[in-house]
Chain A
């Protein structure tokens, strides 16, 4: 119990002292995860919306794969990206392995199916509601796609936030492709793992508190914006 209390005390001191090591790790974590989520979102939104609005034979197959990949194991994604980016791999010449670029790639792959699957479901539901009205106003399918994405912005925000939560909290993929190199690829989750294994519980706990705080903070901001929008324009 006293060790637990000491860990909290040490974590508090590190946070109050604005420890530069901690904040370097936090900054890199945010940079990697936010970039990964932005890239994944730019691909996943049109992909999910297109799947929602198009009908073709075998459509159930990509939908099933997308839904299944929402639960992709991070270590498997990490391994796949490692094989792609390693010197002997097809993308080895870019020298991305053990760089933040590799970590962004892995996290983007990890969250893309999650955001795309949630987008597909959201847009499909909206299309049921909007299709006739939009068609009668002269909107074709190409025009409906951005319209429905915008109409679903409040719900889609939740999907993107889920993606961010998955990205910033995962450890397996970034550990494999980033290597947890101090000052280069060390992010909050890999640092927590390392510090815990070294018995440096105060540092680990401090990072853990920041990780949870950031997740809550970003979700709170996004939900506040979403709530304001719903109040302004109606549900």
Chain B
């Protein structure tokens, strides 16, 4: 299994813009992310967080600007930067087979896949579901499996899109414990959420987005104690931003 690749950090986003059907969805996004263990892209729905995540993973090409992870070609990130979408699609096979599939793509030899899969499942506390059909899991369990599947490839960074949206507190706690396990194993996490409390619990750094722009970027404690922009102040105060 590959060791963590620190040469990818920080990821550089230079003047990212994205237009779809005549609408400017992202504009002027220039920043550095991935310098700390957990970076949270925070903002209300429609802020452009998911779009930015997909661009960062190379799944979408921005209309303008560029993303670079160290010297890596964004189109050839391979398994070095993982991605867990908001609604991950599970393969129609067992929980363990979903992970061994990812391991095969990462080039892990066949004889080591089963053990590596069990280890990844144990990290998200799904070891008891190894033989269960992946599509039979609950929403929270699916998210944890998606995390295990992506993390089993030992990416240097793992991008997660709203990993606990629409989940109850127990499931959210399990997801956050899984995220912390991944962080503790050395993978840097870039997570987007509109959940202020989740951001408070997890963020080492917050990138606050609204209407397709970054309005503020600061350490978690600074952001929540002294938000600088009017929008961030209102958001932290629990007001509804539209």
Contacts and interface: CB of A to CB of B under 8 A. Distances in A.
Given A233-B136, A234-B134, A136 B59 contact: yes
Given A133-B89, A138-B153, A143 B94 contact: no
Interface string B117-154: 00000000000000001111000000000000110010
Contacts of A234: 90, 92, 133-136
Contacts of A69: none
B89 A138 contact: no
B182 to A, nearest CB: 15
A138 B59 contact: no
A137 interface: yes
A38 B47 CA distance: 52
A232 B133 contact: yes
Interface in B57-110: 57, 59, 78-79, 82-83, 85, 88-94, 101-102, 105-106
A229 B93 CA distance: 9
Interface in A119-158: 129-130, 132-133, 135-139, 143, 147, 150-151, 153-154
A137 B133 contact: no
B151 to A, nearest CB: 11
B106 A138 contact: yes
B91 A147 contact: yes
Contacts of B133: 232-234
A235 interface: yes
B89 A129 contact: yes
A132 B59 contact: yes
Nearest to A135: B59
Interface of A: 129-130, 132-133, 135-139, 143, 147, 150-151, 153-154, 229, 232-235
25 contacts: A130-B89, A132-B54, A132-B59, A136-B59, A136-B82, A136-B83, A136-B150, A137-B79, A137-B102, A137-B150, A137-B153, A138-B78, A138-B105, A138-B106, A138-B153, A147-B91, A147-B101, A151-B91, A232-B133, A233-B92, A233-B93, A233-B94, A234-B90, A234-B133, A234-B136
